[in-house]
Amino acid sequence: MKLSGAEILWECVVREGVEVVFGYPGGANMPLYDAMLNYPIHHVLVRHEQGGAHMADGFARASGKVGVAMATSGPGATNLVTGIATAMMDSIPVVFITGQVAAHLIGGDAFQEVDVTGITLPITKHNYLITRADEIAEAVREAFYIARSGRPGPVLIDICKNAQIEKTEFEYPETVKLPGYQPVDHAPKESLARALQLIEKARRPIILCGHGALMSGAEEALMNFAVKTQTPVASTLLGLGAFPASHPLSLGMMGMHGEVHTNLAIQNSDLILAFGMRFDDRVTGTLKTYAPRAKKIHVEIDPSEVHKNVAVDVPLVGDLKTVLADLIPLVDEYDHDEWLQEISGWKAEADARSIMNWPEDDKLYVAHLISDIWRATDGNAIIATDVGQHQMWTAQYYALEKPNRWLTSGGAGTMGFGLPAAIGAWFAHKNEEIWAIAGDGGFQMTQAELSTAVQEGANVKIAIMNNSFLGMVRQWQEFFFEKRYSAVNMRSPDFVKIAEAHGIPARRVTQRSEVAEAIAWARQTPGAVLLEFRVEQEDAVYPMVPAGAALDQMIQRPVKELASRRNP
Amino acid sequence: MNYTFIALVENKPGVLNRVASLFRRRNFNIESLAVGRTEKPDISRMTVVVDCPNGDLDAHKIEANLYKLVNVIDVQDVTNQPSVTRDLALIKVMVGPEKRAEVNSLADIFRARIVDVAADSVIVEITGTEDKIEGMIELLRPLGIVEMVRTGRVAMTRGVNDGVRRVPGANGSLWREDDESGLAEY
Ligand SMILES: Cc1ncc(C[n+]2csc(CCOP(=O)(O)OP(=O)(O)O)c2C)c(N)n1
């Protein structure tokens, strides 16, 4: 059967189970858009390609499936770049499909010609430049396979216009032939044996749970391992949700804005079990003094992460779920009571400084608001955040019980991620409650997607934590630049009016007493709703490990008068 | 210290660019890189010499990162394996007829050849280890070298010895040319 390249693309994309695509048309992808009309694809017309990229990313994070985003050549494709890098840094499976000028024009600086495969080479797991229709089927098949297997990541397919139009014989490739690409699942037996020896000797072990635990679907195995060996579990920012926050072995988040007892536990451990995490500088602090007495076992699917930042004693290269399944029957049961008690002691000290104990002063603190939303939603909502202080407070106070409900840009820290990611997640879980939490700065970076949300009827609740500052940068200037505020003061538009101009019901909240009612109202009102919270302007996120400091050199929460705070 | 790697890669457009871009991106210092065809039309072979200040740790990093490229099939480190390594140089020397004999006798000693003779210059072709070529260059320099080109090192292990493959379980160490596991199915 002869089909056009564009038709072949959709034949293959539909066979991958794709139902929704986020994109933006233009000259170089018009044949793709024309052919799309004949296939069961719901296309979401975004307002900026970056928004489309984040939506596909949010869809992928929430669904565990591959997201798809499209753009035209030149500026369309370059607008995707931030979104591609965001997906790359967090290992998110997204297939990006861009139009390219006709093959015979390539290299001639034709209208809207940009070297997209060149630009995206270092920010994709793999990419393709397609110049002929008969290359499309194989490329699409491979792209989806590469995106979702091994360590997942974004793959880009740049398709020349002539290849979209040309007709060729279509035969669906049943297998992919990639001699150089064979992700492994099982770690070698000898390495498992060495790991077991370390586990047996450990008296103060700790699990560092990363995003890999979620990507691998290893939540249950993680629970079994932790409980059987009575090993406490600390999470990276992206690992949150893999282990239930309320579990007695849960230590919450580690790192720069991790809890004091969590970081102390890492520093004082004698065995680190790093599960699907990559010792990013935001979780280790300075490497010179990092967990000095700990042996290290690193379970990691990407061999290039092993020894990258921290040299480890036993690398277990493989899929976390598989490796844990191999390991669990071999480990003995342990109790580490003494160690767990020691950590509890640190925790009690940290708890005394909890912001929940702050006196009631009728100001709005983001941490309290997050806790309020958490309570109202029973900790069950899908939460997308933007980047900044509110992101850290959300990580600290929206205690996640379940996996894949936490969408945040960790590796790249991309402002503007929150709203579009929430919209993308809605396409994966239309019956779930979804909240986008953003700062006044980041929200304005992709604010245009409000319009997409309305056009699609996306039911997302938006909370803007408006402190009239680029809060996180302000905090750094306060702490490390003698409070010399430079370019952080931000005057924003009237967010309520902006929402209403889009037909989105909205409220501004300035008093503590209005909070509970406003959250309830947002939850009851159907469709997209926006709440703007006028929060304390110069609040700071604690604890904090200054960049380059040791993990246990934290700036702690200030002890405020412990007048018991009225429950909100 | 310099390490020598042999990488087998799929013979596809852009693969050399991917490898070069990776080395730049990860801040590895390439001393030389030679690419060419192999006995199999769909596979190219690269010999890459890289400065590894942290020794084996860097070597591991390089191998593991190369495997992140989908088109890279196999990587071995042959630095400490018994192997044959060769570099080829073409050296143009400014000499008239009166000094040709001198160049000729030097070439003889190094088993090099004069491959072109013009009115006032000759081109010497020399193949060998880098040391040998450096030696020849030093002796030719006083005569007036005006142009030189070198291929960079190519290497092949002796006998049936393979190089070291450090990345446990990585795709390359599973790869055998007669192996069907090259077909990933899902
Ligand atoms: C695209 C982008 N530009 C700049 C930054 C640097 N940056 C990190 S946090 C931050 C401030 C964010 O301010 P806001 O969105 O108001 O959130 P807040 O920190 O106040 O919660 C900035 C500018 C970034 N992460 N991403």
pLDDT at A568: 38
Residues A137 and A273 in one domain: no
Any domain includes A549: no
Three-class secondary structure of residue A317 per DSSP: strand
The CATH 3.30.70.1150 domain(s) of chain B lie at 84-150
Following CA atoms A476, A482, A488, A494 in sequence, which dihedral angle do they give, to the nearest 10 degrees?
Answer: 100
In this predicted model, what pLDDT tens digit does every residue of A49-85 receive, in sequence order?
Answer: 999 999 999 999 999 999 999 999 999 999 999 999 9
Residues A407 and A524 in one domain: yes
Instruction: Specify the CATH number for the domain of residue A74.
Output: 3.40.50.970
The CA R_g of chain B, rounded to the nearest whole Å, is: 20
Q: Which residues of A are catalytic?
A: 49, 111-112, 161, 472
Three-class secondary structure of residue B128 per DSSP: strand
Of A97, A111, A118, residue with least CA distance to A163: A97
In this predicted model, what pLDDT tens digit does every residue of A276-318 receive, in sequence order?
Answer: 999 999 999 999 999 999 999 999 999 999 999 999 999 999 9
* Ligand 1 nearest-atom number relative to CA A475: 19
C-alpha–C-alpha distance, residues A462 and A443, integer Å: 10
Its domain, for residue A238, covers 189-349
Instruction: List, run by run, the mean pLDDT of 10-residue segments along chain A (568 residues).
Output: 96 98 98 98 98 98 98 98 98 98 96 97 98 98 97 98 98 92 91 96 98 98 98 98 97 96 98 98 95 97 94 95 97 97 94 78 92 96 98 97 96 98 98 98 98 98 98 97 97 98 98 96 98 97 94 86 44
Task: State whether A177 and B73 contact (CB < 8 Å).
Answer: no
pLDDT at A272: 98
Residues A329 and A469 in one domain: no
User: What tens-digit pLDDT sequence spans chain B (186 residues)?
Assistant: 999 999 999 999 999 999 999 999 999 999 999 999 999 999 999 999 999 999 999 999 999 999 999 999 999 999 999 999 999 999 999 999 999 999 999 999 999 999 999 999 999 999 999 999 999 999 999 999 999 999 999 999 999 888 999 875 444 434 333 333 333 322
Please state, in angstroms and as integers, the Cα–Cα distance from residue A202 to each residue in A89, A198, A289, A332, following that order: 33, 6, 20, 12
Regarding the beta carbon of A462 and ligand 1, being less than 6 Å apart is answered no
The CA A364 to ligand 1 mean position distance, Å, reads: 20
The CA A542 to ligand 1 mean position distance, Å, reads: 17
Of A295, A260, A286, residue with least CA distance to A554: A260
Helix A189-201 to helix A320-327 angle (10° resolution) is 70
Of A399, A398, A401, A435, residue with least CA distance to A418: A435
Backbone angles phi, psi at A405, to 5 degrees: -120, 20
C-alpha–C-alpha distance, residues A407 and A86, integer Å: 12
Backbone angles phi, psi at A94, to 5 degrees: -135, 135
pTM of the model: 0.95
Of A432, A433, A390, A426, residue with least CA distance to A408: A390
Any domain includes A547: no
Residues of chain B in contact with residue A144, where contact means CB-CB under 8 angstroms, are none
Q: How far is CA A117 from the centre of its chain?
A: 24
Residues A162 and A34 in one domain: yes
Following CA atoms A102, A105, A107, A110 in sequence, which dihedral angle do they give, to the nearest 10 degrees?
Answer: -100
Residue of A118, A176, A191 lying closest to B184 (CB–CB): A176
pLDDT at B175: 38
Any domain includes A559: no
Residue of B9, B68, B186 lying closest to A304 (CB–CB): B68
Residues of chain A in contact with residue B171, where contact means CB-CB under 8 angstroms, are 180-184
> Is residue A319 within 8 Å of residue A185, measured between CB atoms?
yes
| Burial state string for A7-21 with b = 16 or more CB within 10 A and e = fewer than 16 | bbbbbbbeebebebb
The CATH classification of domain B84-150, taken from the options 3.30.70.1150, 1.20.120.1730, 3.40.50.300, 3.30.980.20: 3.30.70.1150
> Is residue A69 within 8 Å of residue A97, measured between CB atoms?
yes
C-alpha–C-alpha distance, residues B171 and A34, integer Å: 40
Regarding the beta carbon of A388 and ligand 1, being less than 6 Å apart is answered yes
**Token couple for B107:** 């070439």
Residues A319 and A364 in one domain: no
pLDDT at A566: 41
Instruction: Specify the CATH number for the domain of residue A317.
Output: 3.40.50.1220
Task: State whether B167 and A181 contact (CB < 8 Å).
Answer: no
pLDDT at A561: 53
Residues A244 and A133 in one domain: no
Residues A118 and A264 in one domain: no
CATH for B2-81 is 3.30.70.260
pLDDT at A88: 98
Any domain includes A260: yes
Any domain includes A565: no
pLDDT at B85: 95
Q: What is the DSSP letter of A537?
A: T
> Is residue A120 within 8 Å of residue A156, measured between CB atoms?
yes
Residues A230 and A272 in one domain: yes
Question: Total domain count for chain A?
Answer: 3
Any domain includes A177: no
C-alpha–C-alpha distance, residues A30 and A73, integer Å: 11
C-alpha–C-alpha distance, residues B17 and A284, integer Å: 33
C-alpha–C-alpha distance, residues A20 and A141, integer Å: 17
Residues A14 and A159 in one domain: yes
Residues A68 and A23 in one domain: yes
Of B146, B138, B105, residue with least CA distance to B122: B146
The CATH 3.30.70.260 domain(s) of chain B lie at 2-81
Task: State whether A178 and B167 contact (CB < 8 Å).
Answer: no
Residues A143 and A56 in one domain: yes
Amino acid at A313: D
Any domain includes A557: no
Backbone angles phi, psi at B159, to 5 degrees: 60, -140
Residues A289 and A326 in one domain: yes
pLDDT at A351: 83
Q: What is the DSSP letter of A525?
A: S
